[in-house]
Amino acid sequence: MVERKIGQKWGIFMFKILVVEDDVKIREIILENLEKWGYTGLVVDDFTQVFQSFMEYQPHLVLLDINLPTFDGFYWCGKIREVSKVPILFISSRNTNMDLIMAINLGGDDFIQKPFSLEVLMAKINALIRRVYSYVTIDMDIIEHQGVILNLKDNELIYQDGKIYLSRNEFKILHILMRHCGQIVSRDKLMENLWKDESFVDDNTLTVNINRLRKKLADSGLDDLIKTKRGQGYIIQ
C-alpha cells in the first residue's frame, strides 16, 4: 500500500480515501486530483488484500474499480458492507446497465464509467463526503484488533468470516476493552459503564457477563482475547 498524505484539511478533518484501481496511470491521476482537493489518498497495490487495507486504513470513502485481479469489486464491496456503511463509489470500464444495477444492489453509493471526467469524479466524491459526514465528528462503524472486528452498528463480532452475536452487556464489555486496548480496565469502570443508571448491581453480575462473553469467544477460537489481571481488572493486549 502507498499512502500519499496531503496537508490541507476540510474543517478539522483529513478525509481519507481508499483507491482500489489496478490501472497505475488512472490511479495516479486520481491521487493527484485528490491532493488538489485536500484529501488523503491510499492506493491498494496488493489486490488480494483489499479488505485488510480497508480495515487498517479505515477510510471515509472507497473508490472501487469493478474489474480487478483475483476478486472483482463486487466481491470486495460485499466484504466491506459486512462491517461498514462507508460510502463506496464504483468505477467501471464496462458499458452495461447490469454493472450499475449490481453496484447499487450490493451497497454501492454511486457509479462512474470510464473514461470519466475528473471534474465529474471529484463532484461525486465531494457530494458523497458532504452528504455522509456533513463536516461533523466522524466515528467509524468498526473497531479492529488483530483480525477481530467489532461492528458498532449491529452489536456483533466478526472473526475469520464467522459472526458472533453478542448481548447488550457483552457488546458493551467488549467495546470498552477494545477501545482501551493495551490498558487494564478495572471492574469498577466496567460496572460504571454498564449499569450507571442503576442504583445497585451485584458485583457477581459482571462476573456472569464476562464468563458468558468468554464462552462465546472461546467457541470461535478466541480463548485468550480477554485476560484477567488479578486484583486490577481485564485487558485485551
Question: Which cell is 189 given?
Answer: 469502570
The pLDDT value recorded for residue 89 is 96
Nearest-angstrom CA–CA distance, 53 and 25:
20
CATH node for 142-235: 1.10.10.10
Those residues with Cβ within 8 angstroms of residue 142's Cβ, 6 or more apart along the chain or in another chain = 55, 58, 83, 84, 149, 150, 151, 152
Computed over every residue of the chain, the mean pLDDT equals 83
Q: What is the pLDDT of residues 198-211, one digit of tens each?
A: 555 667 888 899 99
| Domains in the chain: boundaries | 2-133, 142-235
Look at residue 9 and tell me whether its pLDDT is greater than 70: no
pTM over 0.85: no
The pLDDT value recorded for residue 139 is 52
Q: Which CATH fold would you assign to the domain 2-133? A: Rossmann fold (3.40.50)
**What is the share, in percent, of the chain residues with pLDDT greater than 70?**
88
- Once rounded to an integer, what is the mean pLDDT over residues 35-57? 90
- Once rounded to an integer, what is the mean pLDDT over residues 111-117? 88
Nearest-angstrom CA–CA distance, 120 and 221:
47
